[in-house]
Structure 1
Amino acid sequence: MQYESRGNTEDPQGGELAVPMAWLYAEYIADELLRTGDLMPPTSFEYRAGRDALALTIFLSDSRGELSGIRVITQLETWLSLTEYDQIWQEWVRERMDLLLEDAAVSGTPNSDLDLAELAWRWLEETELLAPDLDAVPGGGALPGEEDGPKVWTPAWRLGLPLGHLAIHLF
């Protein structure tokens, strides 16, 4: 979405300033879902991982470019199915991002929504958080010094995705 600005807010080349409304709306919806679920403190890295994973899901599932006019209730089932545990969410995100980046390169038009989505995706992939080992053997027990069982360093998206999925369920 392009926003035509006047005065000091124009870009240095004198063109229009792009406002990333689709990404900001996706991030807002994700934030509201997580806050409603009250699963994590909003200041935690886990919360950010959940918000970014949900925002990416919401943003990338908007195949018709209608995100700003979308009704959240009608999309919950889609988002639930995309964030399910046995789905290949990471591959789906990579494929959608690659397609959108390719389209943006061909058109030559800057896309501030896509830029923010790409930053969120890079953070989710490159950041590792210390989290409970979701693949640990049940009943294996905690090692000495571990209060809640074994923990492992895991990519932020692997922690944020189930958090986002649960937040959708609780909505």
Structure 2
Amino acid sequence: MAWLYAEYIADELLRTGRLIPASSLEFRAGRDTLALTIYLSDAAGELSGIRVVSQLDEWLSLTAYGHPWRDWVRTRFLQLGEEARERGRGEDPDLELARAAWRWLDRTELFATDLDPGHPEHPHMPLLPDENDRVWTPAWQLGLPLGHLAMHLF
């Protein structure tokens, strides 16, 4: 139930923000990225009793530009898998659903605006995105800023 609850929270945050149509692949990328952030940040296993407002700061920091989110996700999956092995039980169904979402996010690329255009002469100075400059982007890379912005709009 924890994964479904995380997915529900993510869905509500994105729908409230009204950033993109709920029927789009971009919405799914944002929802799954945000749901993974919510689910994997629940180290104490208290997701069912969570209060969204009290967790927003943590989720915002995890989805912030420059945070090594992909590495964090992989580390959390390793930790949760190790915890399950130590308990001697099989893989948790919630964890299986989260892993399926991660596989989709990591393996799917969407044709979207380049959100990280570097300045050719000064690579450390980012430019504002040009909406006509589109590139194939991993779904999670598109989902992160969508989820982050949706939380700011909440």
TM score, norm. by length of structure 2: 0.89
- Structure (1 or 2) with the larger CA radius of gyration: 1
How far apart, in 2, do the equivalents of 1:140 and 1:123 lie? 25
Paired position in structure 2 for 1:26 = 6
Unaligned 5+ runs, structure 2: 120-126
1:86 to 45, 66, 75: 66
Q: Which has the higher contact order (CA 8 A, sep 6+)?
A: 2
Paired position in structure 2 for 1:135 = 116
Residues 1-171 of structure 1 aligned to structure 2 (within 5 Å): 21-106=1-86, 107-136=88-117, 137=119, 138=127, 148-171=131-154
Count of aligned pairs between the two proteins: 145
Determine what percentage of the aligned residue pairs are the same residue: 63
1:76–1:98 CA distance, 2 compared to 1 (3 A): same
Aligned Cα RMSD in Å? 1.5
1:167–1:104 CA distance, 2 compared to 1 (3 A): same
TM score, norm. by length of structure 1: 0.80
Instruction: Give 1:108 shift.
Output: 2.7
Deviations 1:54-99 (A, max 9, x none): 0000000101000000111100001001000111111000000111
